[in-house]
Structure 1
Amino acid sequence: MDLTDFDIIDAHIHQWDPHATPREFSKLAKLMRYLPVPVDIAAKLAPRGDREFVGDPSAYLRPYLPADYREDRAKTPVGSIVEIEVQWTGWKPDETRWVASLPFGVDTPALATIIGSADPAAADFGAVLDAHESASPLFRGIRTMVAHHPDPAVKSFAAHDGALTAPAFLNGFGQLAERGLSFDAWVYSGQLPEVTALAERFPEVPIVLDHLGTPAGVFGPVGKHTGHTADQRQALFERWREDLTDLAAQPNVVAKVSGLMMPVLGHPVPRRGTPTPVPALLGRVGPLLAHALAVFGADRLIWGSNFPVDKPITSLGGAAETVATALSEAGASADDLRKVFGGNAVRFYRIEPAT
């Protein structure tokens, strides 16, 4: 699939410097700078959930900044990006300020939008939103780390499920509507009904489902009892399909066709520097993308690379080619792909034309 004539917006990337900014993985990154142990040996000492989630920990142990993204982008014609919060442990608006200071738009794609971190259940939620908006005019919304998996050996990012429907969360969530801000919902697939309930309660808040709901283990075994048999994987896929159909009935929700190469989905992790061939990826993600196109339509899908998180499995160009090819095979036209790879992100994130 040739994307060279598209105006591509990569609507989901991460930037970090664990050596100079407060991240949940900063202590480990700093330790590994001085510990004379090969990263692959050290990784074997990490909890199973961490190993299976990251696939290859090397990207988390060093900075990932605009020049690194430019190198990964290679010949893929990405003109601008949407940066998504990632595990900042300090005052959350400082991450927005830090991202806005990065050298995007010189010999790198332009920074179009920043999605910051904030928790609607927090007592100071309104003040945090105000500080984000003061930190950068590109701030458009938030993501809250609520992904929780019932398998204790699959990495969770929240202490329990139900965060999206908790009274304190719901009491604060309406402040997004008051400010015209959006919500990026990243959950595991078992939490999709929570996203549906949230969208139904707040139809005035634009919500994007990140990574099609991350059905962990749908391609292979992860954790103690997730995706270990063909029957388990089929049941996981069937429940994901039904729950995604229900979510798509909410008109304020769009879906990101991103993160489909995350190792936690059960992808075999290839040797470092050897991306999985596109045909192999198509065989795995094709059914997910075909169903997403069927229930959301081309007007409500947004592409993002999720780099560098997806890098252990594929190249950025391979990720884009896989999604474009799968959607084309499912019936998407060239005009549909232009929407998925750019136009829909402009509308959803209210991206203003470059001046």
Structure 2
Amino acid sequence: MVFGESSSDALADVIPSIIDTHIHQWDPLTTPRESSSVARVYRILPAVGDRLFRLRNQADREFALTPRNLLRAYRPRDYLADVVAVEGATGVPIGSAVHIEAGWHSSEELGPAGETHWIDELPFGEGRSPSLGAIVGHADPRDPHVADLLDAHIRAASRSPFRGIRSMAARHPDPRVRDWTDEDHALTSASFLRGFAAVAERGLSFEAWVYSHQMSDVVRLAREYPEVTIVLDHYATPVGVFGPMGSRTGHTAADRADIYARWRDGIAEVASCPNVVAKHSGLAFPFLGYGHQASGNIGSQATLTDMMAPLIDHTTDVFGPDRVMFGSNYPIDKPNASVVMIVGTLLDVLTPRGPDLLRKVFRDNAIRVYRLDA
């Protein structure tokens, strides 16, 4: 179904409001970001900023597709604009969102807690804006000061609860696919596993974002710390499954079929760990291979549904109805699909499974995992 007035009403009959478990907020002009210097140029001379972006390395271009979303502020009012009516369609009834750390750039030991404080002060819940259900901040368990940083995060969240951390571990053997950590198998290094005890002691969750060939690292971490809820982001991104990426990833149909087959096996192994929960997020993530071809890959909700249905179905099958949640991954997915399209695709695939599953995916599981105020 194309998400419109009828599907919005039907969804509202099942769920009073949706919880989006994966959004990002930033402002590179007023807060410390890796992109802050380029953002200042872009603000004054957007055309020059576009040219600078095109000159950046292939890995950055394929991740972002356009500099627009990364170099401009994205705050509650911007998110609200993306979830209300788009191109004549009825808006998505999102009532609450979970912010996931978004590249705060600080060299100080407790610097990442500055993002939590900044997010906590944003005007969520004002007017029609969704409320802020929870904050997930950045912390690297390999850091010897990680316990102090976790406590600083918790103190900084005075209005909205601090519920977990993310330390991105995605790293790819293709040299032209962007890496997000400085070592292979970061999640299973001795220093990471040792420092992760501080996460467990504070009852925090951990957001695991890895590429699909790294899922065995998530399995080992989950088995080392069965008391910690681990949230698998973005289907453990199978880079290039829908189109060419980097210098050699997903460049042939046979390669893409192999990426998908290995992903199926890997995510089933992750799902065997009862403390891991998966997000239906990153449905339009550029890393999947979208948007790099002249014709584009998506274009319509029907196409997005056709491409993503096997991943959505398999993830739901192996994790079961109590361990899957919705996340828009906005604004990272914005170049390829609207929030309306993303939610519509999930409805296309999951509605035949019944209203109980929809309630769990779009609301109930998020309340339990992030311990939200229902």
TM superposition shift of 1:341: 0.5
Q: Over aligned residue pairs, what C-alpha RMSD do you find?
A: 1.6
**Correspondence for 1:253 among 248, 253, 276:** 276
1:153 aligns with 2:176: yes
1:127 aligns with 2:161: no
Please list the CA deviations of residues 70-99 of structure 1 after superposition, one character each: whole Å capped at 9, or x if unmatched.
Answer: 000111000000000011012011100000
1:286 aligns with 2:302: no
Q: Which residue pairs with 1:48 in the alignment? A: 58
Q: Which amino acid aligns with 1:134?
A: R
**Which stretches in structure 2 are left out of the alignment for 5+ residues?**
2-6, 85-90
Q: Which amino acid aligns with 2:125?
A: G
Q: Which residue pairs with 2:134 in the alignment? A: 113
Q: Which amino acid aligns with 1:254?
A: V
TM superposition shift of 1:35: 3.6
Q: Which residue pairs with 2:362 in the alignment? A: 341
* Cα distance in structure 2, aligned partners of 1:188 and 1:121: 20
SS at match of 1:267: coil
SS at match of 1:191: helix
* Cα distance in structure 2, aligned partners of 1:35 and 1:71: 24
Describe how 1:71-110 pairs up with structure 2 within 5 A: 71-74=81-84, 75-90=91-106, 91-107=111-127, 108-110=129-131
TM-score between both structures, scaled by the size of structure 1: 0.95
Describe how 1:14-53 pairs up with structure 2 within 5 A: 14-35=24-45, 37-53=47-63
* Cα distance in structure 2, aligned partners of 1:242 and 1:36: 44
TM superposition shift of 1:34: 2.9
Worse-superposed segment, 130-139 or 10-19? 130-139
TM superposition shift of 1:33: 2.0
SS at match of 1:211: coil
Mapped contact 1:205–1:252 kept (Cα < 8 A): yes
TM superposition shift of 1:268: 2.6
* Cα distance in structure 1, aligned partners of 2:227 and 2:155: 23
1:10 aligns with 2:31: no
Percent of aligned pairs with the same amino acid: 48
SS at match of 2:133: strand
TM superposition shift of 1:32: 1.8
Mapped contact 1:269–1:312 kept (Cα < 8 A): no
1:266 aligns with 2:276: no
Please list the CA deviations of residues 189-216 of structure 1 after superposition, one character each: whole Å capped at 9, or x if unmatched.
Answer: 1111100110011100000000110111
Mapped contact 1:269–1:313 kept (Cα < 8 A): no
**Correspondence for 1:165 among 188, 205, 229:** 188
* Cα distance in structure 1, aligned partners of 2:134 and 2:151: 16
* Cα distance in structure 2, aligned partners of 1:261 and 1:269: 12
Mapped contact 1:263–1:313 kept (Cα < 8 A): yes
Mapped contact 1:210–1:255 kept (Cα < 8 A): yes
Please list the CA deviations of residues 304-348 of structure 1 after superposition, one character each: whole Å capped at 9, or x if unmatched.
Answer: 0000000000001111111221223xx521110111011100000
SS at match of 2:12: coil
SS at match of 2:287: helix
**Correspondence for 1:325 among 336, 342, 348:** 348
Please list the CA deviations of residues 202-256 of structure 1 after superposition, one character each: whole Å capped at 9, or x if unmatched.
Answer: 1000000001101110000010000000000000000010000000000000000
* Cα distance in structure 1, aligned partners of 2:143 and 2:46: 41
Q: Which residue pairs with 2:204 in the alignment? A: 181
Mapped contact 2:177–2:246 kept (Cα < 8 A): yes
Worse-superposed segment, 152-161 or 335-344? 152-161
TM superposition shift of 1:160: 2.4
Please list the CA deviations of residues 255-306 of structure 1 after superposition, one character each: whole Å capped at 9, or x if unmatched.
Answer: 00001211111113699xx983110101111110110011001110010000
* Cα distance in structure 2, aligned partners of 1:286 and 1:45: 35
Give the length in aligned residue pairs: 349
User: Cα–Cα, structure 1 residues 176 and 143, in superposed 2: closer, same or farther, change >3 Å?
Assistant: same
SS at match of 1:83: strand
TM superposition shift of 1:17: 0.1
Mapped contact 2:350–2:357 kept (Cα < 8 A): no
Q: Which residue pairs with 2:4 in the alignment? A: none
Mapped contact 1:270–1:313 kept (Cα < 8 A): no
TM superposition shift of 1:56: 1.8
Q: Runs of 4 or more off by more than 3 Å in structure 1?
A: 38-42
TM superposition shift of 1:43: 2.5
Mapped contact 1:275–1:312 kept (Cα < 8 A): no
